């Protein structure tokens, strides 16, 4: 692997091409969201009109509200359930804990489409109309594993004697939980929360099967709009989603990397 000049040039060109392949479509779409013309082949000047239109379109605003509401509720609930789950499993014997942890791999390995369809079947069987709340239930289920897997390592790193000491000194178990354990694992909880929120915001397939056109989220309206031809407002919506997801991912990456070092 002693690199000659030719090898180095080839390597640089190769990486540049891969990056262009991965990012050109996204950058083009972002550019088009600021294009004054509806046409995708002509640049007729910079405009923010499409963004203004987005915030005056009741159906897009409704979908934005649904998306944020679903993400916030699912994140809060899954953070609580996932964190408590991790604490509980940490105190269990290993066999029992392993069974429960393996359940979390289930939604991570099942193809999204099968997860979506299976939840839809259950809701339809139970005669629960598909809508915002079914979507929230589904999101909580796929968010929990991310919280669990962010919190578990922090619990393993924790000194187990701290909790025992608190109890020995007369601390009530519940108080020891939020005075001793929670502060120790807080960085893990926060990473889990960020991950859960991002996954919620990012999801399309599972949301598609567990919601209805009555209460669409943003992905769903983008998907419906593809059947109706070009709408630059959808480029604006997509751009805003891309940028928020990207920022969240960069934030998460920074945290997990920092923690690996520490």
Q: How far is the CB of 55 from other proteins (least distance, A)?
A: 19
Rule CB under 8 A: say whether 22 interacts with other proteins.
yes
Rule CB under 8 A: say whether 190 interacts with other proteins.
no
- How many residues lie near other proteins (CB under 8 A)? 84
CA angle 72, 236, 226 (to 5 degrees): 95
CA 72 – CA 66 distance, rounded (Å): 10
Residue window 119-158: x/- pattern of binding to other proteins, with contact defined by CB under 8 A: xxxx-xx-----------xx-xx--x---xx---------
Stretch touching other proteins by CB under 8 A, among 19-27, 47-55, 58-66, 154-162: 19-27
Provide the CB-side half-sphere exposure for 8 (13 A, CA): 4
Rule CB under 8 A: say whether 39 interacts with other proteins.
yes
Nearer to other proteins, 56 or 257 (CB): 257
Query: Which of 198, 165, 200 is CA-nearest to residue 180?
Result: 165
Site for other proteins in 61-120 (CB under 8 A): 80-82, 84-85, 87-92, 96, 100, 103-104, 106-115, 117-120
Nearer to other proteins, 2 or 58 (CB): 2
Q: How far is the CB of 169 from other proteins (least distance, A)?
A: 17
Q: How far is the CB of 33 from other proteins (least distance, A)?
A: 10
User: Any residues with CB less than 8 A from the CB of 107 and at least 6 apart, and which?
Assistant: 115, 141, 142, 145
Applying CB under 8 A, among 198, 200, 211, 233 the residue interacting with other proteins is 198
């Amino acid at each position: 692997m002693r690199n000659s000049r030719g090898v180095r040039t080839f390597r640089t060109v190769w990486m540049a091409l891969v990056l262009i392949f991965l990012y050109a479509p996204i950058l083009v779409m972002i550019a088009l969201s600021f294009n004054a013309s509806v046409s995708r082949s002509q640049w007729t000047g910079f405009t923010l009109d499409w963004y203004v239109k987005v915030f005056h379109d009741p159906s897009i605003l409704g979908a934005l509200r649904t998306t944020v509401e679903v993400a916030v509720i699912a994140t809060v609930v899954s953070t609580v359930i996932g964190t408590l789950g991790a604490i509980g499993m940490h105190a269990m014997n290993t066999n029992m804990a392993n069974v429960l942890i393996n359940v979390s791999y289930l939604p991570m390995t099942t193809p999204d489409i099968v997860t979506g369809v299976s939840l839809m079947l259950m809701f339809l069987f139970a005669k629960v109309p598909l809508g915002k709340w079914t979507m929230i239930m589904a999101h909580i289920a796929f968010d929990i594993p991310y919280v669990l897997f962010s919190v578990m390592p922090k619990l393993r790193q924790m000194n187990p004697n701290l909790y025992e000491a608190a109890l020995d000194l007369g601390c009530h178990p519940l108080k020891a939980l939020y005075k001793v354990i929670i502060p120790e694992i807080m960085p893990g909880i926060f990473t889990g929360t960020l991950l859960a929120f991002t996954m919620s915001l990012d999801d399309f397939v599972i949301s598609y099967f567990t919601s209805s056109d009555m209460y669409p989220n943003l992905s769903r309206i983008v998907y419906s709009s593809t059947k109706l031809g070009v709408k630059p407002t959808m480029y604006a919506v997509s751009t805003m989603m891309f940028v928020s997801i990207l920022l969240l991912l960069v934030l998460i990456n920074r945290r997990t990397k920092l923690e690996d070092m520490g």
